[in-house]
Every structure is written in C-alpha cells, then in structure tokens.
Amino acid sequence: MADPILAATVILLRDPLEVFLVRRHGKSGFMANTYVFPGGKVDAADRAGGGGDLDAARAAAARELCEEAGVTVEPASLGRWSHWITPSFEPRRFSAHFFVARMPAGQTARHDRHETTDERWIAPAEALAAQLEGELPLPPPTIRVLEELSAHTTVDEVLAEAARRAPDIHPILPRSLLAGAVISLLWPWDPEYAQGTGEALPYPAGHPHATGSTRVTLEGARWICSRR
C-alpha cells in the first residue's frame, strides 16, 4: 500500500458562480482525461518557507494554479474547503488539500497545454449535469465538491462557507464496495462504510460536512452519486 503524497488543488471561482476546470492529459498517470481543479503535489520549494503541511499545501496550491492556469494568488488568501486521501487500492495516492479562491481581477485563466489539454468555466450544477450525460468526465472528489458548491450562488457565499468549514475539516478517505461487477466508492459517512474494503478513516458521528451523497457508483464510464 503506497503512502499518500501531500498535494493541493485550487477551486477557482467567479460570478455568476462558476468554477474553472482543466482537463488532465491523456497520458497522465493519475486521473487521465478527466476535468479537475488545477493542482498537484507539494515539492521541496513549497516547504522552503517553513511551517507545517498546511502551509506547504497552500504554497503548492498557489504555484500549481499559476503553472496550470496562469493565475497568481497569494497563498494566505486561499480558503480551506476539504481534504481528500486517495483510496488505498490506488497505486498512486495523494493527501490533497482543496482550497477556494476568487478569480483575481485583470487576469485570465488558461490551461497550460502541457499537463492539461482543455479548460472550462462552468456552473457547478451544469458540470454535474454534463457528467451525468457523459459529456464531462469528472473524478469522484471533484463530483463531491461540485455537489457541495451547487448549494451556493455567489463567490462571496462560497468564501463565507469556507471560513465556516475550516475548523471542522476532516480527511475524506473513500473505501470501495463491490456488488457483483458494480463498484462503488463510499464516503466515510455512508452506512456501509465499515463493510467496504481498503484503509479506513471513519468520520466523527454527526459531523456537519457529512451531508448529501454518501457514495458514487461507476456506471459505464460515469460515476453516479447516490445516498444510502
């Protein structure tokens, strides 16, 4: 079982509420061809300023946003949204901090044409609908984040929610559940999480972020959200 590598990603936002997604290269070793938020792993330079893992993740998030989307933000301005750990059955694993940021005035977001091959500004609910239609391939963590964001209508609302969420952020480590030939990924608050396979990290009972969907199930090439 591979140890997770510290990583970070930025949910870049603009009004009326849209998120910026980039499509990972088809030859990428992780989440190839899917649309994701800009991000990547923490490197030695991100740790040069000292501080702990969260400080390094913020530095990496700002750097990756600049490299993959050409947008510069201050690391300290990034609001925390969630923390995802790749399931233990994956050969490459990340412990990824998700941050939110407002699109800075006077800048333009563009994919880097190297690690990423396309870009899209899209409303969270529209992205989820396109995923269901098979038009926008999204990985499970991105689907979950878009589900959460779809409850909001402005960037100010999201940033305010991020400030409220920050003290209660708990890592999300999905487990797998196989029913015949059908595979599901269970969020830690799914009632069958204890019956899943893989490394487990249960959520505290009654956690305020344990709402909405409890799992995603792979149907064809699409991950479908559901609640148990």
Q: Out of 12-26, 70-84, 87-101, 203-217, pick the least confident.
A: 12-26
20-56 pLDDT, tens digit per residue, is: 999 986 555 556 689 999 999 999 999 998 899 999 9
The alpha-helical segments, DSSP class H, found in the chain are 53-69, 124-132, 140-149, 155-165
Taking the CA atoms of residue 30, residue 32, residue 35 and residue 37 in that order, the dihedral angle to the nearest 10 degrees is: 30
CA distance 194 to 196: 6
- Identify the CATH assignment for 5-166 out of 1.10.540.10, 3.40.50.720, 3.40.50.2300, 3.90.79.10: 3.90.79.10
Instruction: Give the pLDDT mean for 81-99.
Output: 97
Query: Distance from first CA to last CA of the chain, Å, rounded?
Result: 28
121-148 pLDDT, tens digit per residue, is: 999 999 999 999 999 999 999 999 999 9
Q: Count CA within 13 A, CB hemisphere, residue 190.
A: 27
What is the percentage of the chain residues whose pLDDT exceeds 90? 89
- Contacts (Cβ under 8 Å, ≥6 apart) of 119: 20, 21, 22, 23, 69, 109, 110, 111
Regarding pTM above 0.75, the answer is yes
In this predicted structure, the answer to whether residue 205 has a pLDDT above a threshold of 60 is: yes
CA distance 99 to 105: 19
Q: Supply the pLDDT for residue 1.
A: 79
CA distance 62 to 59: 5
CA distance 12 to 93: 23
Q: Count CA within 13 A, CB hemisphere, residue 71.
A: 29
What is the percentage of the chain residues whose pLDDT exceeds 70? 96
Instruction: Give the pLDDT mean for 189-196.
Output: 97
Name the token pair of 138. 């999204």
How are beta strands 39-41 and 94-102 bridged, if at all? unpaired
- Amino acid identity of residue 187, one-letter, is W
In this predicted structure, the answer to whether residue 12 has a pLDDT above a threshold of 90 is: yes
CA distance 224 to 218: 6
Q: Which of 17, 67, 14 is nearest to 38 (CA)?
A: 67
Instruction: Give the pLDDT mean for 139-159.
Output: 98
Name the token pair of 4. 């997770």
Tell me the β-bridge partners of 93: none
161-184 pLDDT, tens digit per residue, is: 999 999 999 999 999 999 999 999
CA angle 220, 173, 168 (to 5 degrees): 125
